[in-house]
Amino acid sequence: MSGNQLLQGAHNVVIRGGTFMAADTINYNTSDGNKATSDAAIPVKPNSSIRFTGRTDVLAKLKGHFTAESNDKFRRRKFFLLYGMGGIGKTQICLRFIEEMCDYFSHVFWIDASSIGTLTQGLRGICNLPEAQSSLLDGSPQSAVWWISSLRENYAMVFDNADNLTPEELEQYFPSGLGGNILITSRNSGLKHLTLHESSVEVKEMEENDAISLLFKAACLEESLEDLHAEASKIVNELFCIPLAIDQAGAFIAFGDIDIRDYLDEYSQYREILLSYPAFKGASKYNRTVYGTWELSFKEIQQRAKSNDSQRAEAANSAMFLLAMFAFFHFESITEEIFSYAATQKHEKNEYNEQRSDLPLASSIIDQTLLQLHKTRKWDNFAFKEGLRVLLSFSLIKLVSSKGIYTMHPLIHAWGRDRMSSEDRQKYCLMAYVMLAGSLSEDFNEQSYQFRRILVAHLRANIMHSVMSKEQMDDRYFDDAHKKFGRMLSEQGYDSEAEKFQFQMLGERSRTLGEEHPGTISAMGDLARTYKNLGKYANAEKLQIKVLDLRNRYLGEEHIDTIWAMGNLANTYESLGKYADAEKLQIQVLDMRNRLLGEEHPDTITAMGNLASTYESLGKYVNAEKLEFDVLNLRKRLLREEHPDTIWAMGNLANTYDSLGKYADAEKLQIQVLDMRNRLFGEEHPGTITAMSNLAVTYESLGRYADAEKLEIDVLNLRNRLLGEEHPDTIWAMGNLAVTYKSLGKYADTEKLEIDVLNLRNRLLGEEHPDTISAMSNLAGTYQTLGKYADAENLQIQVLIMGNRLLGEEHPDTITAMSNLAVTYESLGKYADAVKLKIDVLNLRNRLLGGEHPDTIWAMGNLAVTYKSLGKYTDTEKLEVDVLNLRNKILGKEHPDTISAMSNLAITYEILGKYADAETLQIH
């Protein structure tokens, strides 16, 4: 066998260990008697794991890359980089690729490149290969590189685990010339500088089916055991389909006497032990566990922090600080804005700022390590960026947007906390909490809604981690944080969580500042608004009356804060169904703002809009339309057509057009609103999604149910993705879609959605929340449509009892519940019970709303239906004539409700034998 054939297909060339000895020149000998030998042994290349599974896409890309014909006249060297987080399977993919390509490469040199020392020792070991010794090398790394470059054959050189080397450090060990092939595995995506963009692949998590297959192999279980597949699916998803983690889990199941069905229970209690226990290292060829692979990266960063190079040390220290902080944010959407805002945030003074110095402030203990400012008062982000660069180089974080948004893998995120002592967990959890507080402005207009959307996710994750580490919220009261977080959580729909912050803030301010201090009164107002959002209307009313009294007494009735307090109380009165009280207060507010501020002041215009809303609740649609038209014209003239407030005014007017049956006008305005919001704010902005929902309602009124369904599915998908399935707005979207399904006759889909809505509201809000009661009522209506009258009756009786108890018998929702139950009684043939309830409903609406209110007219029509069922045709006729006359007068003869009233009366005329009258109406 000739010398150049000695290592043909050599796949067992692997070299590890040793230290680096620098050499400036390469010496090689000319006689056998003087040849040098290296003290590095020639180890055996690892075989790929017998449990290797999947990765066909990456293997195919590697094969295609290295076997593709080149268009160059001379064959040029091919490079490829496999990069990704530790434990993701880069080495195993590379091993399998080399094995499958054994007939393609003449030589394979497998080098552990985890450090300069292991790399150089590997090259020294190559000098001891028989074929290399025949070239009389001097045993140095440089001579090995020279010898490899002299090979004429199609060799492959693998630099495995090149995690800690810069591109420049690694490149100096590439053989010269254009021959051969180089394959690199690394956590550092920065090594892409050594390859073309298309010559690199990020190795990501396994496909779920492949991950399940790997788990069965590692656990020594038959994959044919179908009954275990569901449990295996849960395990691999809990481990995020990371190969090494799954291999370790399988090893643990195979090693011990634990059943695969019990693994997740064990994992939930002992995650840190299971992911770091040496006996369960799975197929790792470097004897590392999942946590061990990441701990190795951390130790390297720690080592850099001790460097004599101050810039290198500072970057490493920043990286460790950021890694610890990030562990107590949410693992997704970690944005640079958090630190930028925290660095530049102005601590604005307000009327009680100095007096609240007795209260603890998050701003006073925020860590300033990475929050230094330039002389220009802008954030100096150099140290921050350097820290991120280090974390990125080890794939401990990932850049997902050029706008400075990063993410951490959920398991790395968990490791970041698990590796800490209990004291460090509390320390960094608190540091992350005050950093979030420092980044949030007290004036929400200074920051984007999307930033607060991201921030609320980080805050909720931080709260969860603090509770898990036994540090309750009560132990970290900061007045500024509680105020800002309470408002933000409420704005984002997390009112139950906002309530906890605001309740605690009110208690602390009452004790420290006194109940009559402006800061305490402000806290009362915040909590009252949250009570209102939670449907705790009585609690909200009580607090708001107190706020109004205190504002009146200390500031006077014409002070701007007193007028705001009146407006807030009016809104709560509206929620309580006290429309007359609400109207009275809102007229006062409008008059005072008109007189004190002028009719063109923004607050005056807002007051007009609020009064219009109450007019709508009172059924005074014409009055509401007039006010909303004035509001829209003022907004257009004083602001501009595309100002957010102008667009809101257009939306409000469109909703009133809807109530008036002017569906074409409503549709036209709502399409304008949707187009402008889409263009100005983007399709994912809450205002845009609300506009889509409003347009869907109008499509439904127009009978365009397919168009409504399409929009409402889009709304539900967007809210699901952006807010999560348990957010109030997402649940509302489910309810709206259910209504459209009902209109389309998709009753099974309606029932399923409404049961989901009811279960979610029950669990998240409690069975006595108004939204939960509303969900029960909607489901009862669907049961009635499906002919499940007993189920409908059962739910509607519950709704009526709770409405009576929680809202009072005169609340609009309670009266509606009476009306709905009456309809079900009618379906069950309980006509006497139905008549009694419907008469009560009509009397209550007459007394509370007046004879011309739309709800009163509906009650008259409903009672007429029951009279007709009882054969009381004269009573029916009288009521239906009244209904028709009222609708004609209030809505006009072309309104859909008026036309419906004509049709009902025509049928009654026919029953009574008044055929001429019936014919006249039917022709109309």
Residues 263 and 388 in one domain: no
pLDDT digits 0-9 by tens, 217-237: 988 888 888 888 889 999 999
349 pLDDT band (50/70/90 cuts)? very low
- The total domain count for the chain is 5
What is the model's pLDDT at position 68?
A: 84
What is the model's pLDDT at position 73?
A: 55
3-state secondary structure of 696: helix
Q: Which domain holds residue 384?
A: 310-348+357-477
Name the amino acid, one letter, at 136: L
Pairwise CA distance, residues 202 & 186, whole Å: 10
Q: What is the share, in percent, of the chain residues with pLDDT greater than 90? A: 53
Name the residue among 458, 335, 325 with its Cα closest to residue 401.
Answer: 335
What is the model's pLDDT at position 789?
A: 93
Pairwise CA distance, residues 863 & 842, whole Å: 8
Residue 11 above 60 pLDDT?
Answer: no
Say if 93 falls within a structural domain.
Answer: yes
What is the number of residues in the chain? 924
Say if 601 falls within a structural domain.
Answer: no
Q: What are the two backbone dihedrals, phi and then psi, of residue 605, each rounded to the nearest 5 degrees?
A: -65, -40
CA distances from residue 483 to 523, 566, 776 in whole angstroms, order as listed: 8, 22, 35
Residues 229 and 296 in one domain: yes
24 pLDDT band (50/70/90 cuts)? very low
What is the model's pLDDT at position 647?
A: 92
Range 124-137 average pLDDT: 85
Residues 155 and 251 in one domain: no
78-83 and 200-202 strand pairing: parallel
In 726-811, where does DSSP find H-type helix?
728-743, 747-765, 770-785, 789-806
Residues 466 and 339 in one domain: yes
Residues 896, 703 contacting (CB under 8 angstroms): no
What does the buried/exposed string (b/e) look like for 824-833 if buried means 16 or more CB atoms within 10 Å of the residue's CB? bbbeeebbee
CA distances from residue 145 to 127, 139, 140, 158 in whole angstroms, order as listed: 9, 11, 9, 13
pLDDT digits 0-9 by tens, 506-553: 999 999 999 999 999 999 999 999 998 887 888 999 999 999 999 999
What is the model's pLDDT at position 572?
A: 93
What is the model's pLDDT at position 346?
A: 55
What is the model's pLDDT at position 576?
A: 83
What is the model's pLDDT at position 352?
A: 41
Residues 443 and 530 in one domain: no
pLDDT digits 0-9 by tens, 183-204: 999 999 889 888 877 899 999 9
70 pLDDT band (50/70/90 cuts)? low
Say if 661 falls within a structural domain.
Answer: no
Of residues 69 and 513, the one with the higher pLDDT is 513
Residues 376 and 388 in one domain: yes
Residues 334 and 445 in one domain: yes
Last residue of a domain, one of 150, 174, 202: 202
Name the residue among 157, 161, 182 with its Cα closest to residue 79.
Answer: 182
Mind spelling out the 3-state secondary structure of 167-230?
Answer: HHHHHCCCCCCCCCEEEEEECCHHHHHHCCHHHEEECCCCCHHHHHHHHHHHCCCCCCCHHHHH
Residues 459 and 497 in one domain: no
pLDDT digits 0-9 by tens, 699-742: 998 889 999 999 999 999 999 988 888 888 899 999 999 999 99
Pairwise CA distance, residues 876 & 193, whole Å: 85
Residue 3 above 60 pLDDT?
Answer: no
Q: What is the share, in percent, of the chain residues with pLDDT greater than 70? A: 91
Residues 80, 114 contacting (CB under 8 angstroms): no
pTM given for the model:
0.77
pLDDT digits 0-9 by tens, 626-658: 999 999 999 999 988 888 889 999 999 999 998
Pairwise CA distance, residues 496 & 355, whole Å: 29
Residues 168 and 123 in one domain: yes
Give the list of residues 6+ apart from residue 595 with CB closer than 8 angstroms, or none.
none
Residues 361 and 429 in one domain: yes
Residues 685, 449 contacting (CB under 8 angstroms): yes
Of residues 74 and 179, the one with the higher pLDDT is 179
The order of strands in the sheet holding 181-186 is: 14-15, 108-112, 156-160, 181-186, 78-83, 200-202
Name the residue among 292, 320, 324 with its Cα closest to residue 306.
Answer: 320
